[in-house]
Homo-oligomer: A and B are copies of this chain.
Amino acid sequence: MMKIRLMTAFVAFRQACCLAVMLGFVILLPTLAQAVEDPLPSWNDTGAKKAILTFVARVTAAGSPDFVPADQRIAAFDNDGTLWVEQPLYVQLFFALDRVKQLAPQHPEWKSQEPFASLLRGDVKAALAGGEPAIEQIVVTTHTGMTTEDFDRIVRGWIAKAKNPKTGHLYTEMVYQPMLELLAYLRASGFKTFIVSGGGIEFMRPWTERVFGIPPEQVIGSSVKTVFEMRDAIPTLRRLPEINFIDDKSGKPVGIQQYIGRRPIAAFGNSDGDLEMLQWTTAGQGVRLALIVHHTDAVREWAYDRNSSIGRLDKALDEARVKGWTILDMKHDWKIIYPFEKR
């Protein structure tokens, strides 16, 4: 009797075991299915997608001569025109223009002072005729003086509501769905993804984690100086009206070294401002991926390159062709452009 009970108990135990293993399979199956799913569903099966898949396969295959340890899988992405729309003007410039309007009542002198006078008359073109010094003046005036926490709050408030004047969509909706997939695919393949943008670092950090999955500490950009001060015994950081660093052109490799401290193995850009970053990335030892987003889709997005004042792509396009970098043709290589097209 005792023996029978023991055997019954043993059979019950084995059945429990089977159940456990079967449950294991049920849990595992979706994971296996995901593994064979296309990681880049919004990309057509053209050259750009193939170049990305081949590159990732080579650097992640253990035992391959091209294998790169996960901690060295650094990928650098430009932001404006590479991860989100930069037309008809850089988003940060729209932010600055809105700030000018908001601050104007406290600055009566702006009515007769350029570039503010033109801006307040609604003539953006005339305001920006002053070139980079005019832009720097607008940015410094509208982006500094407050604490870092106040600036964070101002950006969050603005980006939650501001919309692209041409499409009426929130700026954070006008990000590129194929690039969101690429970011996720690289991270799933052990990469650490960084933004390396000419834009303001503190203008991007409040929303990059939510929109791109890139946390503040992996955002590199241009910055103003800040100073630590006690205000009523409360420690604060105040933003000073002085440029600290311009993360553009030859500043991009400098910013990469300063913030990351090692060379990316993959870099993604769309303009001449990204040329030095792509040069620096591809000059490293081993397999590298350099990709340029070429804006070729006048219908779904914008078509521009050599003659554009925003995101001019001229020298970098020539160099990409000479060096065999991947040139992404937005019109032909992407099935959809924006996440809202999926709906």
Contact = CB atoms under 8 A, between A and B. Distances in A.
A283 interface: yes
Interface stretch (A85-93, A97-105, A216-224, A326-334): A216-224
Contacts of A218: 217
Contact of A21 (B20, B209, B259, B260): B20
Interface residues of A, number: 42
Nearest to A239: B257
Interface in A230-258: 234-235, 237, 244, 250-251, 253-254, 257-258
Interface string A189-211: 00010000000011001000100
Nearest to A18: B17
A152 to B, nearest CB: 9
A219 B14 contact: no
Interface in A259-276: 259-262, 276
Nearest to A225: B254
A227 interface: yes
A279 B237 CA distance: 12
Nearest to A226: B254
Contact of A228 (B74, B217, B276): B276
Contacts of A223: 258
A261 B17 contact: no
Given A14-B17, A21-B21, A237 B261 contact: no
Contacts of A260: 216-217
A15 interface: yes
Contacts of A217: 74, 192, 217-218, 259-262
A74 B244 CA distance: 24
Nearest to A201: B261
Q: Report the 6 A-B pairs with minimum CB-CB distance, sorted nearest first.
A: A216-B261, A228-B250, A17-B18, A14-B14, A17-B17, A17-B21
7 contacts: A17-B20, A71-B215, A223-B258, A226-B258, A235-B279, A237-B253, A244-B258
